[in-house]
Every structure is written in structure tokens, then in C-alpha cells.
Chain A
Amino acid sequence: MQAGDLIASDSRHAAPSDAELDRAWQVLDEVMDPEVPVVSVTDLGIVREINWQEQQLRVVITPTYSGCPATEFIEQTISQALSEAGFGNPIMVQQLTPAWTTDWLNQRGRDRLEAYGIAPPVGSASKRTLLGEDPVVRCPHCKSEHTEQLSEFGSTACKALYRCIDCREPFDYFKCI
């Protein structure tokens, strides 16, 4: 028996069922990324799978970048949110394959990013080429497509730094990988 089991074994403890799995997904819809707090972990597509392993909920997540320092924090936040919603101590599994891609970022996440001032990834990750043309990135502020890249890398591993030539505002671009 683990320490958290005593707390989790109250009347709210979820029994294995498909309905409860749906409820777990809804809980995770409200767990936000710590560095981009407008998109949820499900918007980002980093929760790959939720299922039951006997009586325990098993959550499979995948990191966005190999060195993303937020991964452990996200794992804890997910685990805590599920515990508070009556799911006991979920089993957290990290999985590298298949590698996370921005193609998994859903439309709601893309809209939320742009509203927050971060340009969402342009195009599909699978069609990117090494020394190909840079994508046309739309300014999240004035919607101009007249923008330029300042740096391939920005404030976090997942972003690049851009500037709008029309409204002159700098902005982050969520890189396509």
C-alpha cells in the first residue's frame, strides 16, 4: 500500500469504466502547460493514452523536447489533478516513441496560442526539409504575414523568436517539429 492510497480510498474513488476514462480526459483538459498557461496538456497532444491497469489509472505522456525541463513538472501536475478528482495514484508512464510532433497540437490549442500572442506552428512537421524555405509566419498581434525570424530559438525550447515588420512587435513562434 502506498501513502496516497489512504487518501484516495474515499467515496469518490473512481472504479474502472469507460465513462470514468472520459472523465479523466476532461480533468486533463483543464491541466495547463506551465510555460504556456493557455494551452492544456491535451491540446498539446502530450497525453498519448489513458487506460486502466487493474484498479489503477495509467497515463502515458510524451515529452515535447528531449531536454524540456517542464516534463517532470507536468507529470506531477497531471498526477495531482487526477488524484484530486478521485482517481487515486495514477501510474505515470513516459514514452518517447512515436516522437511528439506539433501536428498533434489541436485546433483549440492553435487558436489559444495565437490569442495569447504566440504564433502557432505553420504547416506539417512531416513536410519540413533541412535547408528549405522558412515558413510564412503570421503576426499574432496584427495578423500581418510580413514578418521575419530573429532567432531559431526563443524563450523556451519549443519556440523561435520573430518580429513583425508592419506593427514592429516581436513575438514567439511555436516551432513546427
Chain B
Amino acid sequence: MSKYDQLTELLLHLGDSAIVQAQRLCELCGHAPALEEEVALMNVGLDLVGQARNWLEYAAERIDDGRDADALVYRRDELAYRNLLLVEQPNGDFAVTMCKQFLYDAWHYEILNSLIHSSDERVAGIAAKSLKEVTYHLKRSADWVVRMGDGTDESHQRMVKAVDHLWRYVFELAQLDETKQSVIEQGILPGGEDLPERWLAMVTQVFERATLGVPAPAPSIYLNGQKGLHSECLGILLAEMQFLQRAYPDASW
């Protein structure tokens, strides 16, 4: 049992997913295939860092144990992280990078579209702000999935492999866990009942344009991001992200 209420769990889920995805994007700084792509990836990462701060500041206020958003990001271990398993996966090649971004963006776009009507005004406000940005993220990642899927034989094969590789983690996007069911009942995530269907419809629509097949629904596995049961990739990611604050506590510019 979590020691936090379900709204706080949801805030951590949204904030942690955004910060972990942002950290993965940051790894591409200096390594993206083209300058324009690098600029775009870093801009998406920057938006997500800002969004994560908004969610986690709210979470920190609710947890109310003296920690702020920075402390939550830099001083929590992986068992306390609530992010989606999908976003902690390594970047792989550009097909994996963009496919991962797209699967996340489609989910992010749909959940924000519900959260803008949240009974919790602060959640609705952060969601409305985020949705404007995420609409751009989704447009771009969907474009890339189509461009590579419906591109050359090589790029098509790479996208097929990327979908196959990442699909095992999407059960969290295709199902409603306990936290989401609870916040739906509370009116915090209104209209969230069909979130899995809306996500799958978006994926199907883009995959069709990309000449990619939609795999059968991914079965649940023993891992569960919302419960802190992560793949081994997260620990390595956090070790790098948290190094400075762990080695030099409270260091600042």
C-alpha cells in the first residue's frame, strides 16, 4: 500500500514520466542525427522538464514533508519513482527514440485532454498548459513514425523492430491501473474510462498511415511503474541524473 493518496500518486506518475522522458531526450544532446532534430528533441525535453516541475511542485506540497520538487527528482530511489515503464527504456536507434516518443505522446495527449476538465483546478490548469505543448510533440513524433514506417525498406524494418521491442511495455498505457480508476471516480480524471481506447485509436490511425501493423494487446508483466517496480534501466538513468545532487548535496549555481 502506498502511503500517499491517489491524487498524489497521479501527480507523481505524471511528473516522473515527464522527467524520465526528458532525461532520456537529454542523452541525445550532441548525438542526434541532424542539427534540426537535436534542437527539436531538446525543446521537447525542455517542455517536459517544465511540466514535471509543475506536477511535482504540487505533489511536494501534498506530501508536505519538507521536500520540494528538486528533492523529489534528485533524492528518490527507483522504488519511489512512479513513471511509465516505456519512458525509462533506452533510446536505441532513431526509430526506437521516435516510436517511444510517439507512444508516450499519444498517451500524454489523451490523458491531458481528460485532465483539462479535472475537478481539481490546479490539475486542470497544469494540464491546459501542458496540452498546448504536447500537441506539438505528438504532431512531430507522429510525422516521424509515418516518415520512417512508410519510408525506405531499411527505415520500415527499423520501425517494425522498434514497435516490436517497445510493445511489451505499453500495457500500462492500454490499461487503467488502480490509481487511475480511483481518480476517475473522484472526478480528477473525468472521461478517463476510455483512455486506453482513445490511446489505441490514435496509435492505430498513425500506424495505418505508417504502413505498420498494430500488435495484439500487450499482456501485463510483473513490472509496474505506478507501484515502483521498474526495469533495470531506470536505476542506471537515475544514477546519472542524480549524481551531482547525491555527491554534493544542495549544490547550486
- The one of B126, B140, B142 that contacts A96, using a Cβ cutoff of 8 Å: B126
Q: Flag if B128 contacts A175 (CB, 8 Å).
A: no
Interface 1/0 per residue, A136-158 and B, CB below 8 Å: 00000000000000111111110
- With A66-B50, A67-B47, A157-B43 given, is the CB distance from A130 to B129 under 8 Å? no
A7 CB-CB contact with B under 8 Å: no
Q: Flag if A96 contacts B125 (CB, 8 Å).
A: yes
- The one of B44, B50, B54, B135 that contacts A68, using a Cβ cutoff of 8 Å: B50
Q: Flag if B54 contacts A154 (CB, 8 Å).
A: no
**CB pairs A–B below 8 angstroms (6 shown):** A63-B50, A99-B125, A101-B132, A152-B40, A153-B44, A175-B136
Q: Flag if B133 contacts A65 (CB, 8 Å).
A: yes
Give the CA-CA distance A73 to B55 in the complex, in Å: 22
In the complex, the chain B residue whose C-beta lies closest to that of A150 is B36
Give the CA-CA distance A65 to B130 in the complex, in Å: 8
- With A66-B130, A177-B132 given, is the CB distance from A97 to B121 under 8 Å? yes
Instruction: Find residues 45-82 in chain B having any chain A CB closer than 8 Å to their own CB.
Output: 46-51, 53-54
Q: Flag if B125 contacts A97 (CB, 8 Å).
A: yes
B233 CB-CB contact with A under 8 Å: no
Give the CA-CA distance A144 to B213 in the complex, in Å: 41
Q: Flag if A96 contacts B50 (CB, 8 Å).
A: no
Q: Flag if B50 contacts A67 (CB, 8 Å).
A: yes
Q: Flag if A153 contacts B43 (CB, 8 Å).
A: yes
Q: Smallest Cβ distance from B142 to chain A, in angstroms? A: 7
Q: Which residues in A have some Cβ–Cβ distance to B below 8 Å?
A: 63, 65-69, 96-101, 125, 128, 130-131, 150-157, 161, 175, 177
- Among A96, A100, A101, A125, the one with the most B-chain Cβ atoms within 10 Å of its Cβ is A96
B residues near A68, Cβ cutoff 8 Å: 46, 50
Q: Smallest Cβ distance from B188 to chain A, in angstroms? A: 16
- The one of A63, A67, A125, A151 that contacts B40, using a Cβ cutoff of 8 Å: A151
- With A131-B139, A150-B36 given, is the CB distance from A96 to B129 under 8 Å? yes
Give the CA-CA distance A128 to B139 in the complex, in Å: 12
Q: Flag if B135 contacts A130 (CB, 8 Å).
A: yes
- The one of B46, B109, B135, B136 that contacts A67, using a Cβ cutoff of 8 Å: B46
Interface 1/0 per residue, B100-136 and A, CB below 8 Å: 0000000001000000000001001110111011011
- With A66-B51, A130-B139, A177-B133 given, is the CB distance from A99 to B128 under 8 Å? yes
Q: Flag if A66 contacts B129 (CB, 8 Å).
A: yes
- With A67-B46, A67-B49, A67-B51 given, is the CB distance from A99 to B40 under 8 Å? no
Give the CA-CA distance A97 to B135 in the complex, in Å: 18
A residues near B139, Cβ cutoff 8 Å: 130-131, 152
- The one of B44, B129, B142 that contacts A99, using a Cβ cutoff of 8 Å: B129
B93 CB-CB contact with A under 8 Å: no
B138 CB-CB contact with A under 8 Å: yes
- Among B124, B132, B138, B140, the one with the most A-chain Cβ atoms within 10 Å of its Cβ is B132
Give the CA-CA distance A152 to B37 in the complex, in Å: 9
Q: Flag if B47 contacts A66 (CB, 8 Å).
A: yes
Q: Smallest Cβ distance from A94 to chain B, in angstroms? A: 10
- With A66-B51, A175-B136, A177-B133 given, is the CB distance from A151 to B36 under 8 Å? yes
Give the CA-CA distance A155 to B133 in the complex, in Å: 16
Q: Flag if A153 contacts B40 (CB, 8 Å).
A: yes
Q: Smallest Cβ distance from A147 to chain B, in angstroms? A: 16
Q: Smallest Cβ distance from B51 to chain A, in angstroms? A: 5
Give the CA-CA distance A154 to B40 in the complex, in Å: 7
Give the CA-CA distance A101 to B44 in the complex, in Å: 18
Q: Smallest Cβ distance from B14 to chain A, in angstroms? A: 12
Q: Smallest Cβ distance from A27 to chain B, in angstroms? A: 27
In the complex, the chain A residue whose C-beta lies closest to that of B51 is A66
- With A151-B40, A152-B139 given, is the CB distance from A98 to B47 under 8 Å? no
Q: Flag if A66 contacts B54 (CB, 8 Å).
A: yes
B residues near A100, Cβ cutoff 8 Å: 129
